[in-house]
Structure 1
Amino acid sequence: MTERAATYRQVFAVREYRHLFAAYLLSLVGDQLTAVTVAYVVFTGTGSATLAAAAYASSYLAWLTGGPLLTGLADRFPRRRILIVCDVARALLIPLAALPGLAAPALVLLLFVVNLLRPPFVAARAALLPEVLDGDRYPVANGLDNTCAQVVQVVGFAAGGGLVAVLSLRGALLVDAATFLVSALLIARGVRPRPAPAPPPAAAADPATDGGGAAGSGRSDGLRAVAADPRLRAYVLVLWTAATFTYAAEGLMAPLARQYGAGAGTVGLLLAAAPCGMALGAVALTRFCPPAARPRLILPLAVGSAGVLTVVWLVPPLWLVLVLLVLAGAASAFAVPLNALFGRAVPARFRGRAFGVAITGLSGLQGAGMVAAGLAADHWPATTVIGFSGLCGAGLVLALTPLWPRGEAPHMGEHAGTAVPAAASLSSDASR
């Protein structure tokens, strides 16, 4: 590994990545537009906030169910084909929401089915990118992907609402469908076909190290592959723990603003603070930090991402709360180099399923953390809950330190079973 970080120019010099990146942006925009527009359709048609929330929350439920069930497709079929099929299917399904007379429960079910197509898409893209980008180009591209995901998250609500205001609901849904169709065309034109990953010989498969047999042996292969490797276990535990306790605060922005006597505009600022920090942190790590130094920063940043929120317990001024949320988001960029370490340690034939396990667990724990924080905020001030959550998160990440692999830097180029390093955007693809 070189000491100098790859530049964005070097990353975008790869034609296949340019097409995958543009397709990724369109799919992210499409996911946001789908959630916002269909939730709006449900609410205006029924007046039920519960059904509207269920429509929006279906992305979490889809990951919890579709993650274990469908991410394995990325290890059994050509990954380029998975990407195209998922995008085309979403482009065909979304306009059905504009059919007159479609009942609200049917709309919620339709959105759930659309969201089920995201886990295999994410897993296939994550598994394909290491074959497109080599060396330090992939960690830099991963940081760029994370930055764009945060930006899309910040502007997604406004864009969705603006489309509905400028166009009709039907027009907004057609624009939404078009994002997925253009994404599929970009992938079809710009990404060369590759065969499906070859399963290992049956006689050579080792359940302790290869995930329990051939690539198609079952949905639990990815879980076994992660559980059997001490490095993978450490990586996902650190990621899940830090993210769960850091982003539990995300579900408390409304009661936090109310505690400070502020309104809806402040809620928006509070929600945007951590994603903005994450985008800045990802750029700093991938563009200004030497590649060899990134692995050494993972644990300190993971501790800091949650630990900095402990200060909120003291009920600081609102401006300082915003600064702390930005800092927590910036420290959360530890997921960028952690993604690369995770990918390099996963055998190629289990890559899609291993990514599915990591992202599904992350999505489920983040959702559970937000719910638990909300329940606690019914009994204690939001500042107390956020501060306590940060303290717990920092303490638990520190408790995981003995599990962390020692001498990580010498292993950065090793990969049993692939010729190039791998990584995945675990943080940005979980539930955004």
Structure 2
Amino acid sequence: MSDETHAPERPATFRELFAIGEYRAVYLALVLTWAGDYIAKAAVTMLVYQESESVALSATAFATSYLPWLVGGPLLTALADRYPYRTVMVICDLIRMPLFLVIALVDLPVWAIIALLFLSTLATAPSQAARSAMLPLILQGDRLVVALSLHGSTNQAAQVGGYVAGASIALYHSPQLALLLNAAAFGLSALVIWFRVRHRPAVALGERRHLLRETGDGFRLVFGTPVLRAIAILVFAAMLFSIVPEGLAAAWASELADEGANPEPIQGLIMASSPIGFILGGLAIGRGVRPSRRQALIRPFAVLAPLALVPALLNPPAVVVALLTAVSGFAVAGLMPVTNGLFVQALPNGYRARAFGVMNTGVQVMQGIAVLTTGMLADRFPIPGVVGLWCAAGVLLMLVLATRWPQPERFEAAIAQAREGQVVVPGARPAHPVSPPVDDRSRPPSSEAGVGAV
């Protein structure tokens, strides 16, 4: 049953998603790489600390994984639009696998460990961009939105579980074992993608230009298209507030703990509450709410994300702080998959990876700005007041953005234009005509993909 005949008021089911062989492969590879990455982050942090006995260097090792998005994310993701998405994902996995093997098996100085870790994370941006760009070719309509919601919940679960597993393996066995598991995860991911996802040629967009110009096309597309610009601004704004409790968790826990008590359990409670709220929200909204209702809830959830944290002004106890943070995470989970689904469906073929790079870089930058700014404010003022007032300002910002949010008809028109290849990228050269993606579910199942999804 195609998405066009899929009952519009019934959410897609997980059974429908996992009935598609290619999607099963993509999801398995995603779980492998995410779990391995988070296990490795915890292990590398401990390994560097064991080698250097320096908190600053161990924190540097952890933060290195975010640097590629900040220093070259959009440029690297532009590469993913030049080559077949499956090929990009496999090559990126095969680049990262030996680098982690070297870190695990060779006795290296700290600077070399950090350098290899940085090189490995350079492959993350094009790999994630290629996967994001491939999904709309495998899934359409509400199946795509439900898949994105599932991915968000999976990522949060992998983050919590990966950090715990990585720290436990490093503590009770060795950091090297955790790094070997991560290398194995990348190898398995490459095999799964290569053998279970079918090859699709790169989209022809006329004569290739300098990579910087093609990267600029991604920015012009996102911020020059009214519907895409509205989504980008709303998502970036949401990131300014939902990340704050996690960013200030260590200091906030110290303020909330009784005198002489260990603040680490409180810190863990605050940091875990947002992922837990996100997981619950993703599953509840993705599966329990019909598609049209999800779109109608975008504006309320956008306001609720910062509003939930405003009661921090009252300096509540730790359990209440965790509950407020979980509610904010729940709201973000109700917002992000739906806006992400609208975003990728409104993108023309050949630009999805670049647009993903723009969005992911923006999210990283906004989160960094929020944590740095509130952190500096918290050095001068009590944390509950900083969080409460910061998020109160967020409510006002979200109310303004909610009033300017496009009507559903605008999104439908933009998605239809993208499917028909009628989207014009400001400043880009005219592309060769490209046929819109074909729904292969009307064809016999593909022998390579398991079930012909595209």
CA distance in structure 2 between the partners assigned to 1:412 and 1:321 by the alignment: 40
Q: CA deviation at 1:412?
A: 7.7
In the alignment, residue 251 of structure 1 is paired with which amino acid?
G
Q: CA deviation at 1:100?
A: 4.2
Deviation per CA, 1:166-187, whole angstroms, max 9, x where unpaired? Answer: 4333322211100111111111
Q: Does 1:298 align with 2:295?
A: no
CA change 1:138–1:271 in 2 (3 A) is same
Q: CA deviation at 1:162?
A: 1.6
Question: Does the CA-based 8 Å contact 1:246-1:389 persist in structure 2?
Answer: no
Question: Does the CA-based 8 Å contact 1:199-1:214 persist in structure 2?
Answer: no
In the alignment, residue 77 of structure 1 is paired with which amino acid?
Y
Q: Does 1:400 align with 2:401?
A: yes
CA distance in structure 1 between the partners assigned to 2:169 and 2:243 by the alignment: 29
* Counterpart in the other structure of 1:379: 380
Question: Does the CA-based 8 Å contact 1:215-1:350 persist in structure 2?
Answer: no
Deviation per CA, 1:251-299, whole angstroms, max 9, x where unpaired? Answer: 1111211111251011111101011111111111110111111111111
Question: Does the CA-based 8 Å contact 2:241-2:390 persist in structure 1?
Answer: yes
| Number of equivalences | 411
CA distance in structure 2 between the partners assigned to 1:116 and 1:264 by the alignment: 32
* Counterpart in the other structure of 1:323: 323
Larger Rg: 2
Q: CA deviation at 1:369?
A: 1.0
* Counterpart in the other structure of 1:219: 215
CA change 1:191–1:181 in 2 (3 A) is same
* Counterpart in the other structure of 1:247: 243
Structure 2: unaligned runs, 5 residues or longer: 422-435, 440-454
CA distance in structure 2 between the partners assigned to 1:215 and 1:169 by the alignment: 38
In the TM superposition, what are the counterparts of 1:119-138 in structure 2 within 5 Å? 119-138=125-144
Question: Does the CA-based 8 Å contact 1:341-1:412 persist in structure 2?
Answer: no
Aligned-pair identity in percent equals: 38
CA distance in structure 1 between the partners assigned to 2:211 and 2:296 by the alignment: 33
Question: Equivalent of 2:416, from 414, 417, 423?
Answer: 414
CA change 1:100–1:17 in 2 (3 A) is closer
Question: Does the CA-based 8 Å contact 2:302-2:402 persist in structure 1?
Answer: no
Q: Match of 2:153, SS? A: helix
Q: Does 1:60 align with 2:66?
A: yes
In the TM superposition, what are the counterparts of 1:151-300 in structure 2 within 5 Å? 151-200=157-206, 217-261=213-257, 263-300=263-300
Structure 1: unaligned runs, 5 residues or longer: 203-212, 422-432
Deviation per CA, 1:147-197, whole angstroms, max 9, x where unpaired? Answer: 111111112221101222343333222111001111111111110011011
CA change 1:223–1:25 in 2 (3 A) is same
CA distance in structure 2 between the partners assigned to 1:236 and 1:413 by the alignment: 16
Q: CA deviation at 1:246?
A: 2.0
CA distance in structure 1 between the partners assigned to 2:40 and 2:311 by the alignment: 37
Question: Does the CA-based 8 Å contact 1:130-1:420 persist in structure 2?
Answer: no
Deviation per CA, 1:86-141, whole angstroms, max 9, x where unpaired? Answer: 11111111111135442211211111111111110110000001111122111111
Q: Match of 2:198, SS? A: coil
Question: Does the CA-based 8 Å contact 2:257-2:266 persist in structure 1?
Answer: no
Deviation per CA, 1:205-228, whole angstroms, max 9, x where unpaired? Answer: xxxxxxxx8999522110011111
* Counterpart in the other structure of 1:368: 369
CA distance in structure 2 between the partners assigned to 1:58 and 1:415 by the alignment: 39
In the alignment, residue 247 of structure 1 is paired with which amino acid?
I
CA distance in structure 2 between the partners assigned to 1:376 and 1:226 by the alignment: 32
In the TM superposition, what are the counterparts of 1:83-94 in structure 2 within 5 Å? 83-94=89-100
In the alignment, residue 65 of structure 1 is paired with which amino acid?
V
Q: CA deviation at 1:33?
A: 2.0
CA distance in structure 2 between the partners assigned to 1:270 and 1:411 by the alignment: 42
CA distance in structure 1 between the partners assigned to 2:150 and 2:173 by the alignment: 31
Question: Does the CA-based 8 Å contact 1:294-1:337 persist in structure 2?
Answer: yes
* Counterpart in the other structure of 2:345: 344
In the alignment, residue 151 of structure 1 is paired with which amino acid?
A
CA distance in structure 1 between the partners assigned to 2:366 and 2:414 by the alignment: 28
* TM-score of the pair, normalised by structure 1: 0.91
CA distance in structure 2 between the partners assigned to 1:172 and 1:156 by the alignment: 10
CA distance in structure 1 between the partners assigned to 2:184 and 2:107 by the alignment: 23
